[in-house]
């Protein structure tokens, strides 16, 4: 983390899934799966480019319908740690469609919002089931971003249940 505030604030969510760890890993690392669940209610992810290797980049576009028309948000980042089926660490910043970092203030975010945050996904194989701990450093636990993660992970659970039945 390069932002002091990001070191202090973090949302941490623990979930258990009745699915193998390999499937949960694919939800985070395969673009088609990631696009199917990421984002808050009503959000769609038409673009997810993921070069899942240490030093690899990611670029995601999320779109949400609003009364004033669609709101589009781009996120970019870099993979810092990739331990297959166990641990994934990546940075995340607001960006333009080319992956150039954009200041949160330029997007109307409150003062003090970090330019770069970090997402850590830890998976534990429980013999056919999976325990997942997701930490987003730089996003306060009582923020709209934390609430968005709760909804997104509910969407992930529903998507995993649908995928497990196939």
CATH code of the domain containing 14 = 3.30.530.20
CB 45 within 8 A of CB 62: yes
Q: What is the pLDDT of residue 59?
A: 98
SS3 (DSSP) at 155 = helix
Mean pLDDT by 10 residues, the chain (166 residues): 54 95 97 95 94 98 91 95 98 96 84 89 96 94 86 94 78
- Cα–Cα distances (Å) from 18 to 29, 41, 42, 49, 137, in that order, read 19, 23, 25, 27, 26
pLDDT of residue 129: 95
State the pLDDT at residue 7: 45
Number of domains in the chain: 1
130 and 19 in contact (C-beta within 8 Å)?
A: yes
Domain hosting 17: range is: 4-165
Backbone angles phi, psi at 30, to 5 degrees: -110, 120
Torsion, Cα of 17, 19, 20, 21 (10° steps): -30
What are the pLDDT digits (tens) for 80-126?
999 999 999 999 999 999 999 998 888 877 777 889 999 999 999 99
């Amino acid at each position: 983390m390069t932002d002091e505030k990001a070191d202090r604030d973090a949302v941490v969510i623990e979930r258990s899934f009745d699915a193998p760890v390999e499937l949960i890993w694919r939800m985070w690392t395969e673009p088609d799966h990631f696009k199917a669940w990421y984002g808050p209610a009503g959000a769609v992810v038409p673009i997810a480019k993921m070069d899942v290797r240490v030093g690899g980049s990611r670029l995601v576009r999320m779109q949400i319908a609003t009364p004033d028309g669609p709101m589009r948000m781009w996120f970019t980042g870099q993979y810092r740690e990739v331990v297959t089926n166990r641990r994934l660490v990546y940075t995340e910043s607001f960006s333009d469609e080319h992956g150039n970092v954009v200041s949160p203030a330029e997007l109307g975010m409150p003062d003090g919002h970090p330019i770069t945050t970090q997402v850590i996904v830890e998976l534990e194989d429980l013999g056919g089931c999976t325990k997942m701990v997701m930490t987003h450093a730089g996003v306060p636990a009582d923020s709209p971003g934390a609430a968005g993660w709760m909804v997104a992970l509910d969407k992930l659970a529903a998507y995993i249940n649908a995928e497990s039945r196939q």
